[in-house]
Chains A and B, each alone.
Chain A
Amino acid sequence: MLNIKKLHKSYPIGDSSLHVLKGIDLTVEDGEMVAIMGSSGSGKSTLLNIIGMLDEADEGEYILDGVPIKNLTEKKAAIYRNKFLGFIFQSFNLINYKNALDNVALPLYYQGMKRQERQELALFHLGKVGLEPWAHHLPNELSGGQKQRVAIARALAANPKLLLADEPTGALDTKTSHEIMDFIQHLNDEGKTILIVTHEEDIAQMCKRIVRLKDGLIMEDEKVEQVRASQYVG
């Protein structure tokens, strides 16, 4: 599904530059659920952004679903993002003047889907996260957990191959975090490949594999026994 070799990335800071990723090798298979861990400054977000085509690597190889991701124009990157990737952000990043349904339908709009079709599909995905009754509410009328569920529905709407979550529970309390993780685990059970960036150990333990970054290098890459979030829910 995802193949990364010798990835380097540095950011210019004034005259000098900060070497953030110093040669990352990572392979993710279909249906995996991987946690990327590390303290702040370890390069985990940068890695996720490069995987998400929001940022570009300086050096190295990145192949996503057999497609080499290199020298993308903004337009092509946008199309790939739309086709391959679903994003879940720490701060939800819903568009605050659009209701839940329209937010979920947004990636479909950019796919060029017809309005009617789009609305139906979005409603279906909202139903999957249990928010059908909230379809016509604006984000600020929803709780944090509900917002994140809308964001998950939006990430899923375009049926992406890879789900990228950047601290998906970072802004939520423990109980809601577990609910969200339960959702994400279920998605993985259905076969979705998921990458989660987190710095919380208990969230990482709910994945099937943990990749630990430190100072721009992979320190540890281990398969773990998945802790099911459902046991905390209810």
Chain B
Amino acid sequence: MIKFLFARDTWQEVWDSLSKNKLRTMLTMVGVWWGILLLIGLLGSARGLENSFNRLFGSFATNSVFVWGQNTSKPFKGFQEGRMVKLTLTDAKIVEENVEGIEFVVPRNQNQSQVVRNFLSGNFAINGDFPLLDKVQKKKLIHGRFLNQSDIDDNRKVAVISEDIYKQLFEKDEEMIGQLIQINNMNFTVVGMFENGNVNMGPTSDIHIPFTTFQQIFNQGDNIGFMMITGKPEYDITQIEADAKLILKNLNNVHPKDKRAFGSFNLGKEFKKITGFLVGMQFLTWFVGIATLIAGVFAIGNILLITVKERTKEIGVRRALGATPYEIKRQIVVEAVFITLLAGFLGIITGGWILIALDKAFGQGDEAVIVNASVSIGVVFISLIILVVLGTLIGLIPAFKATSIKPIDALREE
């Protein structure tokens, strides 16, 4: 068999029979070609979408939850229901120290304030932040720097603004670093400007000032607006959320079963929904692609079956000349596998072109919908193996059909 596969005669026979019946060969190949093209195209696009999602969230610690205080809904330890719970820096510290699996706890403060520069003004979200924020919610700085520890220590009046704020408060192409803006009638020096994120997860991010400065100018004391809790990748964020809330209830004299005392937004959970959707899409792509591929291989089987009928006489002649049934079957199976593989290769190549075209059309720049649309070599390899196996199996049907006809009947066929 091995010798047969490497014999020039074998391929001469295959080549003769395929090349002399071009239309038939072409039609046969279209099915598989289309199947593998779809598979590659779909898988590549799905990967591209996934990549673009990953890039969007890449700057964000997705295994996070935001927690803030609300009004209690149950009386507890002498406190009446409806009490406003205020989280404090101490709470944040205790949570960080006592909940298992926590990577960071970032306390934050936020309010809306009037911001003025020269004759331009607006109402923007002011965030009091620690430099740590940059770790969990990466800011893409275009100019200058983010807040640092000295800003916190010295209660500096510095601000990092978003590109949007710059557009509203500054003239086009105006230098912003070192310029002053007025927040709550106090002058702040702009030290950095960051790009607006592609997705805004959590609270709006307009202007960041040092946490301590925020405390001071808005009289916050130890209170914080909310905390952002980030879990280590291997820990379940839902569990961390539950643990953290329980500790917070304990610290703030809230009934353990009080569901309304703390509000939260579980980014990890939301993110999982999206990744779940991506996984679903991948599965669908595989399913559709492989189903199409199988349909294509069946098309090959179908056409081979017809051609066997058409070639009954030829097969009869060959058998009269001394071809054994095995030799006939072998020939048909090799033809089937060869044609499937050839069509498969063409499909992979054209599928690749489609991915290149997709990349050219949608994959350029930062706003790209599809990023690096591609399929792995492994996938290509597996689909080729599937093709060979299916090609062999599907080739066996016409092969057996061909040799089940007696040579005499085959010859009689006019």
Instruction: Say whether A associates with B.
Output: yes
| Contact assessment for A54 and B411 in the assembled complex, using a CB-CB cutoff below 8 Å | yes
Q: A residues 47-70 with Cβ under 8 Å of B?
A: 49, 52, 54-55
| Contact assessment for B322 and A83 in the assembled complex, using a CB-CB cutoff below 8 Å | yes
Q: Is B326 an interface residue (CB 8 A)?
A: yes
In the complex, how many angstroms separate the beta carbon of B23 from the nearest chain A beta carbon?
13
**How many Cβ-Cβ contacts under 8 Å join chain A to chain B?**
68
Hey, what's the 0/1 contact readout for A80-122 against B, CB within 8 Å counting as 1? 0111000101010111011000100011011100010000000
Hey, what's the 0/1 contact readout for B20-41 against A, CB within 8 Å counting as 1? 1100000000000000000000
| Contact assessment for B322 and A115 in the assembled complex, using a CB-CB cutoff below 8 Å | no
Cα–Cα distance between A111 and B321 once the two chains are bound (Å): 10
In the complex, how many angstroms separate the beta carbon of B412 from the nearest chain A beta carbon?
9
| Contact assessment for B9 and A115 in the assembled complex, using a CB-CB cutoff below 8 Å | yes
- With a cutoff of 8 Å between Cβ atoms, the chain A residues found around residue B21 in the complex are 97
Among the stretches B104-112, B346-354, B400-408, the one at the interface with A is: B400-408
Cα–Cα distance between A109 and B327 once the two chains are bound (Å): 11
Q: Is B313 an interface residue (CB 8 A)?
A: yes
Q: B residues 290-328 with Cβ under 8 Å of A?
A: 313-314, 316-327
Q: A residues 115-166 with Cβ under 8 Å of B?
A: 115, 154, 158
Which interface residue of B21, B325, B408 has the most chain A CB atoms within 10 A? B408
Q: How many residues of A contact B (CB 8 A)?
A: 28
| Contact assessment for A97 and B17 in the assembled complex, using a CB-CB cutoff below 8 Å | yes
- With a cutoff of 8 Å between Cβ atoms, the chain A residues found around residue B318 in the complex are 95, 106, 110
Cα–Cα distance between A94 and B321 once the two chains are bound (Å): 11
Interface on chain B toward A: helix, strand, loop, or mixed SS? helix
| Contact assessment for A154 and B321 in the assembled complex, using a CB-CB cutoff below 8 Å | yes
Cα–Cα distance between A106 and B17 once the two chains are bound (Å): 14
| Contact assessment for A54 and B322 in the assembled complex, using a CB-CB cutoff below 8 Å | no
In the complex, how many angstroms separate the beta carbon of A121 from the nearest chain B beta carbon?
14
Among the stretches A17-25, A26-34, A71-79, A200-208, the one at the interface with B is: A71-79
| Contact assessment for B17 and A49 in the assembled complex, using a CB-CB cutoff below 8 Å | no
In the complex, how many angstroms separate the beta carbon of A51 from the nearest chain B beta carbon?
12
- With a cutoff of 8 Å between Cβ atoms, the chain B residues found around residue A79 in the complex are 322, 324
- With a cutoff of 8 Å between Cβ atoms, the chain B residues found around residue A81 in the complex are 319-322
Instruction: Categorize the interface residue count of chain B.
Output: 20 to 34
- With a cutoff of 8 Å between Cβ atoms, the chain A residues found around residue B171 in the complex are none
In the complex, how many angstroms separate the beta carbon of B356 from the nearest chain A beta carbon?
37
- A54-B320 in contact given A95-B314, A97-B21, A102-B16 (Cβ < 8 Å): yes
Hey, what's the 0/1 contact readout for A215-232 against B, CB within 8 Å counting as 1? 000000000000000000
Cα–Cα distance between A35 and B403 once the two chains are bound (Å): 31
- A110-B408 in contact given A75-B326, A98-B16 (Cβ < 8 Å): no
Q: Is B8 an interface residue (CB 8 A)?
A: yes
In the complex, how many angstroms separate the beta carbon of A82 from the nearest chain B beta carbon?
2
Cβ-defined partner of B408 (8 Å) among A55, A78, A83, A98: A55
- With a cutoff of 8 Å between Cβ atoms, the chain B residues found around residue A115 in the complex are 8-9, 12
Cα–Cα distance between A85 and B317 once the two chains are bound (Å): 13
Cα–Cα distance between A167 and B395 once the two chains are bound (Å): 36
| Contact assessment for B319 and A78 in the assembled complex, using a CB-CB cutoff below 8 Å | yes
26 residue pairs bridging A and B, Cβ less than 8 Å apart: A49-B408, A54-B408, A54-B411, A74-B325, A75-B325, A78-B319, A78-B322, A78-B324, A78-B327, A81-B321, A82-B322, A83-B322, A87-B321, A89-B411, A91-B414, A93-B316, A93-B317, A93-B320, A95-B314, A95-B317, A95-B318, A97-B16, A98-B20, A107-B322, A110-B324, A115-B9
Q: Which residues of B contact A (CB under 8 A)?
A: 8-9, 12, 16-17, 20-21, 313-314, 316-327, 403, 406-408, 411, 414
